[in-house]
Amino acid sequence: MRAKLSKLFNYYKLGFIFDIKANIAYPTTFWFAAITIPLWIFIQILLIETIYGQTNNFLGYTRFENYVLFGTFKLVQSIASLIFFVRLEDLAAKVRGYSDWSLDVMLLKPIDSQIFATTGKFWFGSISSAAAGIGMVVYGLLHEPHVIPASAVLMYTMAVLLGVFFLYLLFLFIQTWLFWFEYLQIGESLWFTSQAFGQYPRRLYSGAVGILINIVMPITLMASVPVEFLFGQIPFTTFIMYTLIVAGLFVFTRWFWQYSIKKYSSFSS
């Protein structure tokens, strides 16, 4: 077990170092991404200002609490993109056999296919976006101070990590369909677009939609849930509930991956 973990650590370490070197060698894409992606922050700030130009309280959130909410959303989105985006986005090309090396190579290595095919490369272009998200959180908290105990910060951090992992599972689930419809072109766009549901308070969704977005596919883990932990609005038991839901989704997506990969037909070797 220890040897396996050590191998895994080395795999991620090497991937991290390699990607840093690649960014240093070919910095243009990195700088383009680092400059343009955070521009979406302006959209979110404008949306906040537009909403609070019409109301003082949006689903229980004040203006500056909403900055914390949007900042958290951006943070979770950026971390998930940093760790999981490259490999999962590239999966389409690998399944179709026109990437630099096909999925065949990945399946033949002495490493779990899901780990190798879906993780291990890093997208540093989203670092600036994560920094902007942290900036929004800090800005919101400075303008409307809350008494936040250390336990709330811990819960917030754990919920953020849970949100990041959930986003991985969501992208994995979407991309696994490539084994069934190899010319599905929608994966990346669907993943990013569906995140729009995650940037608003949980209370926005009610009825069947609420059950789907808050519980079955808890995309509100991206912002609303962590922020409610930070402000002490929900108890620890809720965290256990979300952990169990995400664990269930992990088991399901893992099963779906392993079942679907049997459908893969090699183009060449």
Partner 1 sequence: MKYFRTFLFALQTEMQYRANLVMWFVVGAIGPLTMVMVWFAILGERSDIGGYTKGDFVIYYLFMTFGWYLVGGEFSRQIGHAIRNGEINKTLLKPYSIVIGEWASEQAWKLTSMLVSLPALALVLYLMRGYIDWSFVPGQAIWIAMSLFFGAIIFALIQATIGILAFWVTEIWPFAEMMDVTLHLFGGMLAPIALLPQAVQRVTVWLPFRYIFFEPINIILGNQSDPMSVIYKQGIFIVVLYLLHVVVWKAGIRRYEGIGG
**Residue 100 burial by Cβ neighbours in a 10 Å radius (0-12, 13-18, 19+):** exposed
Amino acid at 223: A
Among 39-47, 161-169, 234-242, 243-251, the segment contacting partner 1 (CB under 8 A): 39-47
131 binds partner 1 (CB under 8 A): no
Per-residue contact string for residues 191-210; x = within reach of partner 1 by CB under 8 A: --xx-xx--x---xx-----
Binding-site member from 189, 233, 258, 266 for partner 1 (CB under 8 A): 189
22 binds partner 1 (CB under 8 A): no
54 binds partner 1 (CB under 8 A): yes
What Rg, from alpha-carbon coordinates, does the chain have?
A: 20
190 binds partner 1 (CB under 8 A): yes
Per-residue contact string for residues 148-187; x = within reach of partner 1 by CB under 8 A: ---------------------------------x-xxxx-
Binding-site member from 2, 3, 24, 55 for partner 1 (CB under 8 A): 55
The residue to which tokens 């490999």 are assigned: 87
Binding-site member from 2, 3, 50, 269 for partner 1 (CB under 8 A): 50
Q: Measured from the CB of residue 43, what is the shortest distance to partner 1 in angstroms?
A: 5
Number of residues that bind partner 1 (CB under 8 A): 35
Q: Are 80 and 167 in contact (CB under 8 A)?
A: yes
CA dist 33 and 126 (Å) reads 7
**Long-range contacts of range 28-37, CB-CB < 8 Å, 24 or more positions apart?**
29/125, 30/124, 30/125, 32/125, 33/123, 33/125, 33/126, 33/128, 34/124, 34/125, 34/127, 34/128, 35/128, 37/125, 37/126, 37/128, 37/129
Binding-site member from 23, 58, 136, 253 for partner 1 (CB under 8 A): 58
Q: Are 225 and 68 in contact (CB under 8 A)?
A: no
36 binds partner 1 (CB under 8 A): yes
Query: Which CB, 37 or 83, lies closer to partner 1?
Result: 37
For the chain, where are the alpha helices, taking DSSP H only?
2-25, 27-36, 40-51, 63-80, 86-96, 103-108, 113-118, 127-143, 150-176, 187-194, 207-211, 224-230, 236-260
Query: Which CB, 189 or 266, lies closer to partner 1?
Result: 189
216 binds partner 1 (CB under 8 A): no
- What's the token pair of residue 16? 């991290």
Footprint of partner 1 (CB under 8 A): 28-29, 32-33, 35-37, 39-40, 42-43, 46-47, 49-51, 53-55, 58-59, 181, 183-186, 189-190, 193-194, 196-197, 200, 204-205
